[in-house]
A and B are shown apart, each in its own frame.
Chain A
């Protein structure tokens, strides 16, 4: 037991956990904002909706599909020049953020679009019949009425993002993925890998729990 306690570098583990949480929280927040915007754009420019515009819809849909299709690990590599331009470095937690956000936002955008499609068209029409502006429709109807689906969607996306951070860790972003690779795999200490895995699982469970709680709380159907 003492062996085990010594084998794991606990301060490094804590630091790695903090890095993972940092990367996850920033990228979840940015993915939520960017994904919501893209999802709204996809939904609203679709035919029959208030901003119906085929060109915008096809272009945005195309971009979303392309970025959603690129495997994350390849996206990270592809984005190296962009990240370097943006941040001046490709190392550290911040350097992982562009890839994380660009990888997850299109994924979430599709979920947002599906959530918005679930809204009864009649409710949008009713708001229009009351003289609602597009702003009213977006902020008082579309978002509140799809909130449970938006929350469960961001929960799923957040969990994928935790997985992505671990992958990003391998190319030098830090976090638990990096920790497991460095001390567990390269240091040949499977127990360390196991500890890192448990740490990630705990984070995933907490995120899932919080997501489920708010999904239920906002669902009044």
Chain B
């Protein structure tokens, strides 16, 4: 559906050239939810803006839904843009228009007649769950509602691709989740290809099928979300994965527990997919003569399966502890001894 080949973007500046995007190659499949994660300045914003021609690549080609976006101009580009819609971090609604009128805007641009416009707007309002707010102005809506208008507006002309430019970054966690659920729903129901950029791993974890990690203009890691969670290779990817799997306080907690329990050892277990669903701890206790103390745990659901981490403290004879660790290993669960007591 989307093919990015050898794409670079250089911004000329007074201090020399700034290479925002550096030789990026990506293939995004139809119906996929593809995430690009990176810190600000990593070039992800520039990359997504090249998908609808808001930026032109300095080098390389961008093809979306069979059209070479990086080559076409004028009327052809405008036509293509009706099939590649975009939602924004700050919603970018017209404050002078009501909810209905905002959603009707892209239909006006596409030249849809008034009666069909009304009908389509009604459908979209229902789709995004804004019934009863049709005549409200954006200033009367909450952030989440504004983004729902943004989504409805983006879907108006039945696009093939939806680009999300930090679409949830201005929202609180709960609203973020409801917007993400809506995106998944749209993806399933309409088979829409979604490309989103974010700096929050939570967003990637919750809805993306595949993820690309960007750092200083390049894609440094790429793969199915679960694989990246399981085996993050680059340091930056590890940091992003930790955002979700290890809450901030984990380090302090384990440090504290290491002091509290001078004996035995603290172990970090990581589960992937079906391994999250077995009674592992019970089996460990049954098979080995160890005391297990659960310190902290978390299971995260991704679009391709679950991923979990669990911190436990094992105490007992050294040989028994080793036996327990070997047993956990044999169950295809990742084990990492944090530190021996």
Report whether A133 and B139 are in contact in the complex, using a CB–CB cutoff of 8 Å.
no
Cα distance, A220 to B97, chains bound together (Å): 8
For chain B, the count of residues having a C-beta within 8 Å of the partner chain is 30
Cα distance, A5 to B244, chains bound together (Å): 86
Cα distance, A147 to B90, chains bound together (Å): 21
Interface string of A127-147 (1 = CB under 8 A from B): 111111100100011001101
Cα distance, A130 to B153, chains bound together (Å): 9
Report whether A130 and B106 are in contact in the complex, using a CB–CB cutoff of 8 Å.
yes
B105 proximal to A (CB < 8 A): yes
A88 proximal to B (CB < 8 A): no
Cα distance, A80 to B308, chains bound together (Å): 85
Q: What residues of chain B lie closer than 8 Å to A144, measured between beta carbons?
A: 94, 96-97
Q: What residues of chain B lie closer than 8 Å to A126, measured between beta carbons?
A: 86, 88, 92-93
A125 proximal to B (CB < 8 A): yes
B52 proximal to A (CB < 8 A): yes
Q: What residues of chain B lie closer than 8 Å to A123, measured between beta carbons?
A: 92-94
A120 proximal to B (CB < 8 A): yes
Q: What residues of chain A lie closer than 8 Å to B294, measured between beta carbons?
A: none
Question: Closest CB-CB distance, B21 to chain A, in whole Å?
Answer: 18
Residue of B nearest to A146 (CB): B96
Cα distance, A144 to B108, chains bound together (Å): 15
Q: What residues of chain A lie closer than 8 Å to B79, measured between beta carbons?
A: 131
Q: Do A120 and B106 form a contact, CB below 8 Å, given A128-B54, A130-B85, A131-B78? A: no
Interface string of B84-102 (1 = CB under 8 A from A): 1110101011111100000
Report whether A131 and B82 are in contact in the complex, using a CB–CB cutoff of 8 Å.
yes
Cα distance, A15 to B301, chains bound together (Å): 81
Q: What residues of chain B lie closer than 8 Å to A218, measured between beta carbons?
A: 96
Cα distance, A128 to B84, chains bound together (Å): 11
Report whether B92 and A130 are in contact in the complex, using a CB–CB cutoff of 8 Å.
no
Report whether A129 and B85 are in contact in the complex, using a CB–CB cutoff of 8 Å.
yes
B327 proximal to A (CB < 8 A): no
Question: Closest CB-CB distance, B28 to chain A, in whole Å?
Answer: 18
Task: Give residues 121-172 of A contacting B (CB, 8 Å).
Answer: 122-123, 125-133, 136, 140-141, 144-145, 147
Residue of B nearest to A143 (CB): B96
Cα distance, A129 to B88, chains bound together (Å): 11
Q: What residues of chain B lie closer than 8 Å to A128, measured between beta carbons?
A: 54, 81
Report whether B94 and A129 are in contact in the complex, using a CB–CB cutoff of 8 Å.
no
Report whether A220 and B90 are in contact in the complex, using a CB–CB cutoff of 8 Å.
no
Cα distance, A120 to B94, chains bound together (Å): 9
Cα distance, A147 to B138, chains bound together (Å): 16
Question: Closest CB-CB distance, B62 to chain A, in whole Å?
Answer: 15
Task: Give residues 35-92 of B contacting A (CB, 8 Å).
Answer: 52, 54, 77-82, 84-86, 88, 90, 92
B110 proximal to A (CB < 8 A): yes
Cα distance, A92 to B86, chains bound together (Å): 57
Question: Closest CB-CB distance, A148 to chain B, in whole Å?
Answer: 9
Report whether B95 and A220 are in contact in the complex, using a CB–CB cutoff of 8 Å.
yes
Interface centre among A123, A133, A145 (most CB of B within 10 A): A123
Question: Closest CB-CB distance, B156 to chain A, in whole Å?
Answer: 8
Cα distance, A130 to B80, chains bound together (Å): 9
B260 proximal to A (CB < 8 A): no
Cα distance, A128 to B78, chains bound together (Å): 8
Q: What residues of chain A lie closer than 8 Å to B106, measured between beta carbons?
A: 130-131
Cα distance, A4 to B109, chains bound together (Å): 63
Q: What residues of chain A lie closer than 8 Å to B94, measured between beta carbons?
A: 123, 141, 144-145
Report whether A132 and B78 are in contact in the complex, using a CB–CB cutoff of 8 Å.
yes
Cα distance, A218 to B52, chains bound together (Å): 33
Question: Closest CB-CB distance, B30 to chain A, in whole Å?
Answer: 21
Report whether B139 and A122 are in contact in the complex, using a CB–CB cutoff of 8 Å.
no
Cα distance, A151 to B316, chains bound together (Å): 81
Cα distance, A144 to B94, chains bound together (Å): 9
Question: Closest CB-CB distance, A128 to chain B, in whole Å?
Answer: 7
Report whether A120 and B96 are in contact in the complex, using a CB–CB cutoff of 8 Å.
no
| Pick from B81, B93, B97: contact of A130, CB under 8 Å | B81
Report whether B92 and A125 are in contact in the complex, using a CB–CB cutoff of 8 Å.
yes
Interface string of A183-221 (1 = CB under 8 A from B): 000000000000000000000000000000000001011
Can you offer 26 A-B residue contacts whose CB atoms are under 8 A? A120-B90, A122-B88, A122-B90, A123-B93, A125-B54, A125-B92, A126-B93, A127-B105, A127-B109, A128-B54, A129-B52, A129-B54, A130-B105, A130-B106, A130-B153, A131-B82, A131-B106, A131-B109, A131-B110, A132-B109, A133-B109, A141-B94, A145-B96, A220-B95, A220-B137, A221-B139
A-B interface, 7 closest residue pairs, ranked by CB to CB distance from nearest: A126-B92, A131-B81, A131-B78, A122-B92, A220-B137, A130-B106, A129-B86
Question: Given A120-B90, A126-B88, A220-B138, 13 more contacts at CB 8 Å?
Answer: A122-B88, A123-B92, A125-B54, A126-B86, A128-B54, A129-B54, A129-B163, A130-B81, A130-B106, A131-B80, A131-B81, A145-B95, A220-B95
